[in-house]
Structure 1
Amino acid sequence: MSHLSIDSLRSLSDAHPKPSHLRFQYGTAGFRTLGSTLDSVLFRVGVIAALRSKKLDGLTVGVMVTASHNPEHDNGVKIVDPRGEMLEGSWESHATTLSNAPTTDDFLEAVDALIRTSKIDVSKPARVVYARDTRPSGITLVAALEDGLSALGAEARNAGVTTTPILHYLVKAINTKGTPDSYGDDSEEGYFHKLGTAFKSLVGGRPPLEPLLIDCANGVGALAASSLAEYLGSSLPLVLENTSISTPGVLNHACGADYVKTMQRLPPSLADRLKPGQRACSLDGDADRLMYYYLDERGTFHMLDGDKIAALVAAFIVDLVKSAGLENDIKVGVVQTAYANGASTRYLFERLPVKCVATGVKHLHHAAEHYNIGVYFEANGHGTVLFSQSTQSKLAQYQPSTPAQSTALTHLINLIQLINQTVGDALSDVLLVETVLAHKSYTGEEWDSLYVDLPNRLVKVVVGDRNAFRTENAERRLVSPPGLQAKIDELVRRYDGGRSFVRPSGTEDVVRVYAEAVVRSQADGASSFSLPAYCN
């Protein structure tokens, strides 16, 4: 570590001691727990992010301080790799190791070991851009992060209070600046301009869209949605609700995408705001999840989740590819998890390839990269569309032979600009959904009628050891405990259209039991089997 200031690293590390009674784990969402316990983690993440940048010859790495849909007292942090994607898997374990070093001496040893085993040239520059959401604990956690960055002399850029997807956008825009693959201007204004311009082109000449109500979860999405509304102007009037970003305790409370998906009901704060037939949607606390819904003429609530978004978007893109005359050259595919409703899988399977992967954004994202155009949405409303580099080049060079082909080609090229391909982005996805609804002249009810969800239940069962439950086939079947899968199969056979699976939680000693069937009472029955022999 000759090129690093060990004295500076030591003294700053001493200022951020690790709580002796806690163990931290870097997972799909990075580190996430009570915000009051994360000071040492944020300092060490600053060091890790700087080392990651040095390892990558000074490319800019991102750090986002957020706990997304979690309650306000939680917080977290995740590292974003240079293409705007999630941190490389091997570095997740490095982050876990360094965050759990008990003392400063142990931490310095772990840093030295990482430098040696990863062959990091510490004389290389380190560049990091970072941001936070609106959580009160974010201010002090960012200060700890800044200490970690300064300990390694990183060139740091504070992007302030913004959404997770905008931070991902900034990372990619910074690293592609001035290249043929430029992703856009590396500023918030560049993000809004890129999305707004593409959207206006896509809906231009069509009947004006009715106002869209957006539940901002009293989070950072309220700030971004307000800025986006200015760029959109009359092309899409936005009515923003739950925008109290400075009121203590209201972030994600009885509102937001996770509330809507979990409770399958309208946020209470919107009860007097939403009219029958009006389109509405909810963001989560950092604006990377999206849940649509509407009330029918009788005032009954209908949810349009990630599965419904995937069906709407994928079918639209398949139609555009065909209209452009490119169906033999560009293959569109959809990636789902076992939680996807069986009716959505059937609807999609009739139109394009569908792949099922293990739960977790990184699994979906990597699988989607194998298609020319890959669509992925988790049922919880997190998702995006990926256009491969070769597909983008093909579209840029393609010579259409009819006016209809030319129009479809223009739409596809604008979609590339509209969609944030780095990560699921609720605001980008809002514009994507609204584009399809405008082109199809669909109401929420017409969109909902593409297919009818099979009744389903998702329940949690507390177990003694979640590690006793191991799965295969994209988490759809258990391989242990022995005999349990056979009992599930036997039960499922009793019900029409029955399907059920059990998978362990990644963070707590519970298993999640999902079940669906043609009739609601049967779905309830398929999810209520007892696991007493396996839960001790």
Structure 2
Amino acid sequence: MNNLPVHQAIAVGASKHPHKGKNVFSYGTAGIRCRADILDPVLYRLGLLVVLRSRAVRATIGVVITASHNPEQDNGAKVVEPMGEMLLQTWEGYATQIANTSDEDLGQCVQSLISELNIDMALPANIFLARDTRPSSFGLAQALIDGIQALKGDYIDYGLLSTPQLHYMVRCQNTQGGYGNPTEHGYYSKLASAFTKVREQQSETDESEYTGELSVDGANGIGALKIQQMCQHLNNQLKISVYNDGTHGQLNDRCGADFVKVQQKPPHGMPTEEAGRKCVSLDGDADRIVYYFVDSDGVFHLLDGDKIATLIAGYIQELLTAANLQLNMGLVQTAYANGSSTQYATDVLKVPVACACTGVKHLHHRAQDFDVGVYFEANGHGTVLFSALATEKINSASQDERLSSDQRQAATTLKYLQDLINETVGDAISDMLVVECILHAKGWTMTDWNAAYTDLPNRQLKVKVKDRRVIQTTNAERCATTPAGLQEAIDGIVSKYNNARSFVRPSGTEDIVRIYAEADTQVAADSLAYEVATKVYHLADGVGDPPAQPSSS
């Protein structure tokens, strides 16, 4: 095939992966994601696209085949940019375009992109690819490879990797090892070494009640495999027991970070009877993480992305102050962040808070405005970004003999902490190690951490509408601009409740409007959400049954 003209090579490949044209595909923040049994022609087309992208940027590009927290019968693919970031937004449009192009028009579509983007097809193209543990992933990887080969691209198939691991390897490759060694062993070695060095900088007091024993829910996915491999590099510094490890049960079935976050209860297959037991859930591709525990009264407590973000931001702020480093630091959240976390970060931690639209790519971009930008979605997906200036100042301070030993030690801890953080994307394994370092430094139990602030009760609802586009928003999705009168109505409803707020936003994929509400009590939050949902139903052409009144009110 490699010796055929471009149009003919594309056509030969397409004949093995025919596009039946019955489905419409869309590439968004989560890549392309849908039922696995209809994805074969899409993966072939993405193989073509990433070869074009690699040549356009003259760098290695990554593709990971995964559907994250979706059920096992689903699958999808995410494209990774040269520095380990998500696909450039303009190229999301090209991905959507090529994914929906018929077999007959595919060659012309590719040629049009080559001409429009002025791509030199004589340049080399290099692709890194990996997949999660879904049964469908292996076959879809072959479709991707066929697309890559049709345009004479080179590739390395890493097999089974977590999504963050592939992001890491792409960045390593394009920094010529400056970010680390682009191998799976290199990933574990870098994180384990940094974890050990951070812990060595910390002095544990006799009063410390910290314990390094964790129960990890692997969501029956790739994270279960990779966290066990990570353990082999940690030299027993943590005692990790892995549950839902894929030997029994289906991926994300009543387990995983998304299940725990949405259901507000422990996953199946995970012992939580022991009061205060430190529990962790990863999602299906190991880029999200949430912590939780059950107290002595049997009450479940979730420490989600907001709790993780404030823990990390507060600790980094302490180190910056101790090292006397003047850097611009900020915490980036979405409108879904609990109001108590925002108030705690602003009033107690004294860390500026910025709000971005929902979607990790929006938070990542906003975090780049700071020298040190911490970002997390409430669902547990997040990381920390350090600017080149921050990296330079931290490294310099760690070696500056003019500073006191305490200042140098704080800077050194920051330097190793940066090595422990996967800056390319949210990484459940990296984030877990960061959290454990901070809890160790503070000598905190789960109860201590949870006591930092108390979440405001909240409720999320959704309303089916004729056309979600009738809802338009501004101010990072916190204010509705259409339909006329909706925001004024929401403001009036919110004013009746104490310590309350509510916002609405359209779904990105279906004709649904999502409602978020929080207030001083759960009864009030439920009632507020119901009132706002009812107003959306009437003003935004709701379909089906109107929202049901909450039983608690």
TM category (shorter chain) comes to over 0.9
Pairing 1:6-155 to 2, within 5 Å after superposition:
6-57=7-58, 59-102=59-102, 104-155=103-154
Pairing 1:336-415 to 2, within 5 Å after superposition:
336-350=333-347, 351-398=350-397, 399=400, 401-415=403-417
- Per the alignment, residue 197 of structure 1 pairs with 193
2: distance between equivalents of 1:202 and 1:212? 19
Q: Aligned AA for 2:477?
A: E
Q: Aligned AA for 1:418?
A: L
Q: 1:30 to 1:77 in 2, by over 3 A?
A: same
Deviations 1:286-340 (A, max 9, x none): 00000100111122110000000011110100000000011xx212100000000
- Per the alignment, residue 516 of structure 2 pairs with 514
Moved more, 396-405 or 32-41: 396-405
Deviations 1:100-154 (A, max 9, x none): 112x231111101100111100110010000000000101101100100110111
Deviations 1:386-444 (A, max 9, x none): 01111111212222511110110111000110000000000000001001100011111
Q: Deviation at 1:206?
A: 4.7
- Per the alignment, residue 487 of structure 1 pairs with 489
Deviations 1:260-309 (A, max 9, x none): 00000011322x45511121110000000001001111221100000000
Q: Indicate whether 1:164 and 2:163 are aligned.
A: yes
Q: Deviation at 1:357?
A: 0.9
Q: Deviation at 1:352?
A: 1.2
1:501 aligned counterpart, secondary structure: strand
- Per the alignment, residue 327 of structure 2 pairs with 330
Conserved 8 A contact 2:463-2:512: yes
Conserved 8 A contact 1:3-1:122: no
2: distance between equivalents of 1:426 and 1:253? 19
2: distance between equivalents of 1:362 and 1:144? 27
Deviations 1:211-238 (A, max 9, x none): 1111000000011101101111221111
1:69 aligned counterpart, secondary structure: coil
- Per the alignment, residue 535 of structure 1 pairs with 541
Q: Deviation at 1:4?
A: 5.3
Q: Aligned AA for 1:202?
A: V
1: distance between equivalents of 2:298 and 2:232? 31
Deviations 1:354-383 (A, max 9, x none): 000110111100000110000000000000
Q: 1:6 to 1:532 in 2, by over 3 A?
A: closer
Q: Aligned AA for 1:158?
A: D
1: distance between equivalents of 2:15 and 2:448? 60
Q: 1:20 to 1:510 in 2, by over 3 A?
A: same
1:334 aligned counterpart, secondary structure: strand
Conserved 8 A contact 1:19-1:37: no
* Structure 1 unmatched ranges of 5 or more: none
Q: Aligned AA for 1:110?
A: C
- Per the alignment, residue 427 of structure 2 pairs with 425
Conserved 8 A contact 2:519-2:525: yes
Conserved 8 A contact 1:4-1:122: no
Q: Deviation at 1:535?
A: 2.7
Q: Aligned AA for 1:535?
A: D
1: distance between equivalents of 2:24 and 2:461? 27
2: distance between equivalents of 1:4 and 1:522? 66
2:156 aligned counterpart, secondary structure: strand
Q: Number of paired residues?
A: 526
Q: Aligned AA for 2:421?
A: I
Q: Indicate whether 1:230 and 2:232 are aligned.
A: yes
Deviations 1:31-51 (A, max 9, x none): 000000000000000000011
* Structure 2 unmatched ranges of 5 or more: 205-209, 543-553
1: distance between equivalents of 2:10 and 2:3? 12
1: distance between equivalents of 2:322 and 2:514? 42
Specify which of 182, 185, 193 is matched with residue 181 of structure 2: 185
- Per the alignment, residue 218 of structure 1 pairs with 220
Conserved 8 A contact 2:292-2:300: yes
Q: Aligned AA for 1:460?
A: K
Q: Deviation at 1:5?
A: 3.2
1:281 aligned counterpart, secondary structure: strand
- Per the alignment, residue 442 of structure 2 pairs with 440
Q: Aligned AA for 1:138?
A: S
Q: Give TM-score scaled by structure 2 length.
A: 0.93
Cα RMSD after superposing both structures: 1.5
Moved more, 278-287 or 209-218: 209-218
Q: Give TM-score scaled by structure 1 length.
A: 0.96
Conserved 8 A contact 2:463-2:537: no
Q: Deviation at 1:524?
A: 0.5
Q: Aligned AA for 1:51?
A: L
1: distance between equivalents of 2:57 and 2:474? 34
Identity of aligned residues (%): 45
Q: Deviation at 1:93?
A: 0.2
1: distance between equivalents of 2:305 and 2:27? 25
Q: Aligned AA for 1:184?
A: G
Deviations 1:159-192 (A, max 9, x none): 11110000000100111125xxx01011010000
1:454 aligned counterpart, secondary structure: coil
1: distance between equivalents of 2:163 and 2:294? 30
2: distance between equivalents of 1:175 and 1:291? 31
Conserved 8 A contact 2:10-2:106: no
1: distance between equivalents of 2:168 and 2:273? 32
